[in-house]
Amino acid sequence: MTGVLDTDWFYWALVIAVGFPACLLALTEIHNALRRRRSHLARPVYLLRTYILPIGVLLLLLVQAMRVSVDATPVRLAATVFGVMLMVLALSGLNATVFQGAPDGSWRRRIPSIFLDVARFALIAVGLAVILAYVWGANVGGLFTALGVSSIVLGLALQNSVGQIISGLLVLFEQPFALGDWIQTPTAQGRVVEVNWRATHIDTGAGMLIIPNAVLANASFTNFSRPPGTHSLAVTTQFAIDDPPDEVIATLDRVASALPQLRQGASPSTVATGALSYMTSIPLRSPADDFAAKTTFLRWIWYASRRAGLHLDEAQDAFETSERVQQALTVVAPTLRLNHSEQEQVMPHVRLTRYGAEEFLQITGQVPTRMTFIVSGRVRLAATADDGSLIPVRTLQPGDFLGQTTLTREPVTAAAYALEEVTVVHLEREYLEDLVARKPVLLHDFGHAIEERRRSLRRALSATDE
């Protein structure tokens, strides 16, 4: 027994027998804790526990406990595997600590992937050279010398191509744009969908434009997405010379303010640019909304200008004819309890007009000054939630009406927008008061409609809260 205690291999064997299970247990607990926290360090700890620790223990067992020569093939193979796993651990640990946990906008996030690939390749090359030199006794000095001379020769031969690649890499490192940004280059405009070490891919809407990064490095381009919250769309319209400029500007601003693509918290503005032209600046969330916002704005302006008595593109509106008004009153007559002679009397007091699809006829909180009767098309009543979203309540059909609180001077509790092109008849408050005075039953009908729609509104809001 005394002879065994005096040997070195006994203590190494004792350390391995006690230390290996203890380290294995500790690393297992650390790995489980990191996994529960979803930490990026879980993978390096897994590599350390599963591969490096057992192989390191095997090396100690062979060299220290069993006294196998370091020049033996089994020891060299184990040392090679151990060195390779150390390189994998170094790469994984570097990636987890430096890059995966980097905050957005930091220089670590901006490093292009090609730089990381080159750094990984260099680390692997150095690691393999160390393994070959110290484990297998190879002479790697001559190999590095040959590689250095070859690199110089290739660099001189390919200096133009390499210069372009370096220019592209510098663009990637600076990152003047990111995925999803909208940029305008000398040749096209679109959204950046892919950026690699060689080229930038831009979705122009009509195809994929691939621009070498070296070209972008030597040219100027515009990034519409930076700084965020600054993009605006400019739309030019023309009106007749007799249209009052202030009224035109107010109409354009009112229509632009109702666009669904409008950036939250921003307001559009319109200026007269001369020669019958007006330019409306519409703040948008993203350049991706340009097309939808412009088409919707121009479509709504067509309807809004005619309702306001303005002349978009100097056009004359001949929609409101006496024949159309008479036909519209036949749809409205049952609601207002009008006979044929009363329809003739009410004609001078009504206005026949139209709204475009998705255009608002009324907004929540508005105090109406007239009643609106639907002649054709459908209108959606919607409640406004706390976050500003619209909750459908019911759909109005021809013969239904809006603005029933005109007589009570109360704000409406629901918004209303057209589901398609809608033709309506407006009846002003003054004549409506006279009509109600002659037909008291109408006041009961309107009061019943107000209460019924309030109940529908409460039901819709309650269903959303559930």
Average pLDDT of the segment spanning 187-210: 83
> Which among 283, 305, 177 is positioned nearest to 234, based on CA atoms?
283
Report CA-CA distances (Å) from 177 to 213, 223, 228, 326: 12, 7, 12, 60
Neighbour-count burial of 5, counting CB atoms closer than 10 A to its CB (0-12 exposed, 13-18 middle, 19+ buried): exposed
User: For 63-100, how does the pLDDT look when each residue is reduced to its tens digit (9 = 90+)?
Assistant: 777 777 877 888 888 888 888 888 888 878 777 776 66
Distance CA 353, CA 235 (A): 25
User: For 220-274, how does the pLDDT look when each residue is reduced to its tens digit (9 = 90+)?
Assistant: 888 887 777 778 899 999 999 999 999 999 999 999 999 999 998 899 999 999 8
What pLDDT band is residue 144 in, cutting at 50, 70 and 90?
low
120-158 as b/e: b if 16+ CB within 10 A: eeeeeeebeeebbeebeeeebeeeeeeeeeeeeeeeeee
Task: State the DSSP code for 48.
Answer: I
**pLDDT value for 154:** 55
Average pLDDT of the segment spanning 151-175: 61
State whether residue 406 is helix, strand or coil.
Answer: coil
Distance CA 273, CA 321 (A): 34
CATH topology of domain 322-465: Jelly Rolls (2.60.120)
User: For 407-445, how does the pLDDT look when each residue is reduced to its tens digit (9 = 90+)?
Assistant: 888 888 889 999 999 999 999 888 888 888 888 888 888
What pLDDT band is residue 123 in, cutting at 50, 70 and 90?
confident
What pLDDT band is residue 296 in, cutting at 50, 70 and 90?
very high
> Which among 430, 416, 429 is positioned nearest to 370, based on CA atoms?
429
User: For 357-406, how does the pLDDT look when each residue is reduced to its tens digit (9 = 90+)?
Assistant: 999 999 888 899 899 999 999 999 998 877 778 888 889 999 899 988 88
Amino acid at 457: L
115 pLDDT above the threshold of 70: no
Q: What percent of the chain has pLDDT over 70?
A: 85
If you search the block for the tokens 């354009």, which residue do you land on?
252
**pLDDT value for 381:** 92
Domain ranges, ordered by start, for the chain: 2-111, 176-223, 237-307, 322-465
**pLDDT value for 342:** 85
CATH topology of domain 176-223: SH3 type barrels. (2.30.30)
**pLDDT value for 454:** 83
**pLDDT value for 1:** 46
Answer with the residue of higher pLDDT: 179 or 298: 298
If you search the block for the tokens 């390499």, which residue do you land on?
162
**pLDDT value for 395:** 92
Neighbour-count burial of 391, counting CB atoms closer than 10 A to its CB (0-12 exposed, 13-18 middle, 19+ buried): middle
The separation between the first and the last C-alpha atoms of the chain, rounded to the nearest angstrom, is: 79
139 pLDDT above the threshold of 80: no
